[in-house]
Chains A and B, each alone.
Chain A
Amino acid sequence: DARVTQTPRHKVTEMGQEVTMRCQPILGHNTVFWYRQTMMQGLELLAYFRNRAPLDDSGMPKDRFSAEMPDATLATLKIQPSEPRDSAVYFCASGYQAGDHSYEQYFGPGTRLTVT
């Protein structure tokens, strides 16, 4: 049963600390997304990759957030320095897209981040 996995599931940290979240996409998927979900803003796209190349990170605060895919089995989202307003649930999703066709996104269980 192929799934997207995310670690850690929960993270509590103090303001100013670095936070790294990891995602293992489903094997064979070529597109990876990072989303953030809050009560106020709902589900927002932060960044996404296709074939490990970043396609769009316009939803991400550039000064403190960075997203990478060091290899096809690992995507990372880093916040440095973290701030209380970054508290949210961060989801990774993966899918396979070929050409101009719709595709399915499979979401991981999320990382609940609390910054105090």
Chain B
Amino acid sequence: TQLLEQSPQFLSIQEGENLTVYCNSSSVFSSLQWYRQEPGEGPVLLVTVVTGGEVKKLKRLTFQFGDARKDSSLHITAAQPGDTGLYLCAGARNFNKFYFGSGTKLNVKP
């Protein structure tokens, strides 16, 4: 059983649409990170959130950490084909090792 559950597992949308990816757990995390991975490469860190209720924006991407620090969401506005990839959330307890979610595979069609 995954410590972090991501939904949806797959998402195929048209360019210009908005989308939200969710990362949920029953555990509390000291920090949570979001990564994007492209085929044949390692995951690349997008953002780290550490405070409950924290919201961070990275251009068209908005990340939110739940008030209780058990869940997080990633919202993409006006998705572009370049956003295509596997999105992974990862939570750390006591700032030590990270537990990764199962991932959301996003395909943005032109």
Point out residues on A near B: beta carbons under 8 Å: 4, 33, 35, 42-45, 48, 55-56, 91, 93, 97, 100-110
Contact = CB atoms under 8 A, between A and B. Distances in A.
B42 A93 contact: yes
Given A45-B98, A106-B45, 15 more contacts: A4-B42, A43-B103, A55-B96, A55-B97, A91-B42, A102-B30, A102-B33, A104-B33, A104-B45, A104-B48, A105-B33, A107-B44, A108-B42, A109-B40, A110-B41
A30 to B, nearest CB: 13
A72 to B, nearest CB: 20
A111 to B, nearest CB: 11
Given A42-B100, A42-B102, A102-B31, A110 B95 contact: no
B97 A42 contact: no
Interface string B4-44: 00000000000000000000000000110100000011111
A113 B97 CA distance: 24
Contact of A43 (B31, B43, B94): B43
Contacts, number: 56
Contacts of B97: 33, 45, 48, 55-56
The 6 lowest CB-CB distance pairs between A and B, nearest first, are A107-B42, A102-B31, A43-B100, A42-B102, A107-B43, A100-B95
Interface in B77-95: 88, 92, 94-95
Interface residues of B, number: 24
Interface of B: 2, 30-31, 33, 40-45, 48, 50, 88, 92, 94-103
A42 B43 contact: no
A52 B97 CA distance: 15
Contacts of B42: 4, 91, 93, 107-110
A5 B45 CA distance: 17
B50 A105 contact: no
